[in-house]
Chain A
Amino acid sequence: MSAGNAHVVRIYDVLLGTFPDDPTDPVVDELQEAILTEMETAPPEGVILDVSSVQLMDSFFARHISETAQMIDLMGGTTVIAGIRPEVAVTAAELGYQLDAVETARSTDHALEMLGVNWNPS
């Protein structure tokens, strides 16, 4: 049984953090650390948190997302949460999480567009 790991990659001026489907608390901590470390190297325009595989958003996870977004905001970046599943969105709405500092996108493509990244093949 594997909890999976969190991954952060840099694409041009955007950081893309990807959560595994069922992250343990330490994995969520790890991703936050990795993003902040990467931001220190060269502050990006925006950070996309891809949660499309995440199957549940409990209070710990929501708190971390919110905190991470606030930190990124303080460092001058924009955070976009991409791909929240419908069932996770329902649960998060019922729980009344305050995710005000966070922008949301349907997918990572949509999130990239929101951050001004365009793909124009000629």
Chain B
Amino acid sequence: MSESSGQVEIQSETDVLQTRQRARTAAEQVGFGTTDITRIVTAVSELARNTHLYADEGVMEWDQITDNGRTGLTFVFKDDGPGIADPDAALEGEFSTSNGMGRGLSGTQTLMDEMEIDTEQDVGTTITITKWHS
């Protein structure tokens, strides 16, 4: 069965695993190669963990998109968590507020073609990432 969009609620470690598996299936359906699939799933893993770690819960929505004949995959992570205090610094990858490598967000940006962060303190965060299939 082939789906071009969907969503995963992120509330537990198992849900984080679920986001990776759904991202992998979606990327395979678009026809991405193994390396791009790994880049996408790694990026999704970073953002899903951030959602679970900082906001406790949230949702990942994914959508297959087209633009000028090319196909892409976009993922939106939404939460009502504490927000990111300094998104620019987080993107520099120079500091870490958790026990990751301190490169979660900057790494995600490196692995994807597009990334947009919309965050407000005490309101929540929405991060959109896109990878185009060349």
Q: Which residues of A does B touch, CB under 8 Å?
A: 1, 3, 22, 24-26, 55-60, 62-63, 66, 86-88, 90-91, 94-98
Contact = CB atoms under 8 A, between A and B. Distances in A.
Contacts of A86: 34-35
B17 A3 contact: yes
A96 B13 CA distance: 26
B103 A59 contact: yes
Contacts of A3: 13-14, 17
B4 interface: no
**What are the 6 tightest A-B residue pairs by CB atom distance, in nearest-first order?**
A59-B101, A59-B100, A87-B38, A58-B45, A24-B13, A95-B107
17 contacts: A1-B21, A3-B14, A3-B17, A22-B20, A55-B38, A56-B42, A57-B42, A59-B101, A59-B103, A62-B101, A63-B99, A91-B39, A91-B111, A94-B111, A95-B101, A95-B103, A97-B101
Interface residues of B, number: 27
Interface of B: 13-14, 16-18, 20-21, 24, 34-35, 37-39, 41-42, 45-46, 49, 99-104, 107, 110-111
A87 B49 contact: no
Contacts of B41: 55-56
Interface of B is mostly: helix
Contact of B38 (A1, A66, A91): A91
A22 B49 CA distance: 14
B117 to A, nearest CB: 17
A1 B20 contact: no
Given A90-B35, A91-B39, A91-B111, A24 B45 contact: no
